[in-house]
Amino acid sequence: MSIVLAGVAKSHGPVRALSDIDVTIERNTLVALLGPSGCGKSTLLRIIAGFDHADAGLIRIDGSDVSNVPARKRGIGFVAQHYALFPHMTVAQNVGFALDVRGTQREQTARRVAELLALVRLDGYGARLPRELSGGQRQRVALARALAAEPSILLLDEPFAALDLHVRRELRAWLRELHERTHVTTILVTHDADEAMELADRIVLLEDGRIVQTGTPSELYAAPQTPFAMRFFGNANLLQGADHLAVYVRPHEFVVDDRPFAGSLPGVVRRVAALGWRVALDVYTDDGQTVNAEISDVEAQRLEPRPGSRIFLSPRHAHSFAAAS
Q: Of 161, 320, 133, which is closest to residue 237 (Cα–Cα)?
A: 320
36: nearest Cα among 145, 189, 164? 189
Decide whether 13 or 308 has the Cβ nearer to other proteins.
13
Nearest one of 64, 57, 68 to 11, comparing CA atoms: 57
Considering beta carbons, is residue 72 or 316 the nearer one to other proteins? 72
Nearer to other proteins, 146 or 295 (CB): 146
How wide is the angle at C-alpha 230 spanned by C-alphas 201 and 295, nearest 5°? 100
CB of 80 to other proteins, least distance (A): 5
For the chain, report the end-to-end CA distance as a whole number of angstroms.
Answer: 36
State which residue, 135 or 241, has the beta carbon closest to other proteins. 135
How far out from the chain centre does Cα 101 lie? 33
Cβ proximity to other proteins, 100 vs 194, nearer residue: 100
- Minimum CB separation of residue 100 from other proteins in Å reads 8
β-pair partners for 157: 189
Rounded least distance, CB 152 to other proteins, Å: 12
What distance in Å separates the CA atoms of residue 126 and residue 130, rounded to the nearest whole number? 10
CB of 129 to other proteins, least distance (A): 7
Cβ at position 71, least distance to other proteins in Å:
4
Smallest distance from other proteins to CB 46, Å: 8
Whole-number minimum distance, CB 86 to other proteins, in Å? 6
- The amino acid that residue 204 corresponds to is V
* Residue numbers at the binding site for other proteins (CB under 8 A): 49-51, 70-74, 76-78, 80, 82-88, 97-98, 101-102, 129-131, 138, 145-146, 148-149
Is 86 or 261 the residue whose CB approaches other proteins more closely? 86
Q: Which CB, 70 or 288, lies closer to other proteins?
A: 70
What span, in angstroms and rounded, lies between the C-alpha atoms of 21 and 170? 32
Which residues lie below 8 Å from residue 27, measured CB to CB, with a gap of 6+? Answer: 1, 2, 62, 185
Nearest to 237 by CA among 222, 251, 223, 253: 251
Q: Would you give the DSSP letter of residue 264?
A: P
Rounded CA separation 286/264 (Å): 11
